[in-house]
Amino acid sequence: MDRSAERGWELLENGNLIRKAEEEGYEVMVTADQKMRHQQNLTGSSLGIVDLMSTAWLRVQHRTKEIRDAIEDVRPGQVLEVPI
């Protein structure tokens, strides 16, 4: 799993980040940016978004099964939330 900073994408805003991920062939983006779903129109997008409802690593690390399931289930243009 790549991180945006490892790819040099850390300064990209959400819309540009989504476009860059699509151009690079990514199918799923995992984020904790809960505003993204309201700020971006994903209609026609080839990218699915998995939105983690917490940024607290201690909580996130205990929900890996739910996160993995969401990654497998999300479809292009869809946002799936993982309650944490």
pLDDT of residue 82: 95
Three-state SS across the chain?
CCCHHHHCCCCCCHHHHHHHHHHCCCCEEEECCCCHHHHCCCCCCCCEEEEECCCCHHHHHHHHHHHHHHHHHCCCCCEEEECC
Read off the pLDDT of residues 28-47 as tens digits, 9 standing for 90 and up. 999 988 887 778 888 889 99
pLDDT at 62 exceeding the cut of 70? yes
- Is 0.85 surpassed by the pTM of this model? no
The total number of structural domains in the chain stands at 1
Q: Which domain holds residue 31?
A: 4-82
pLDDT in tens, 17-33: 889 999 999 999 999 88
For residue 55, the model assigns a pLDDT of 86
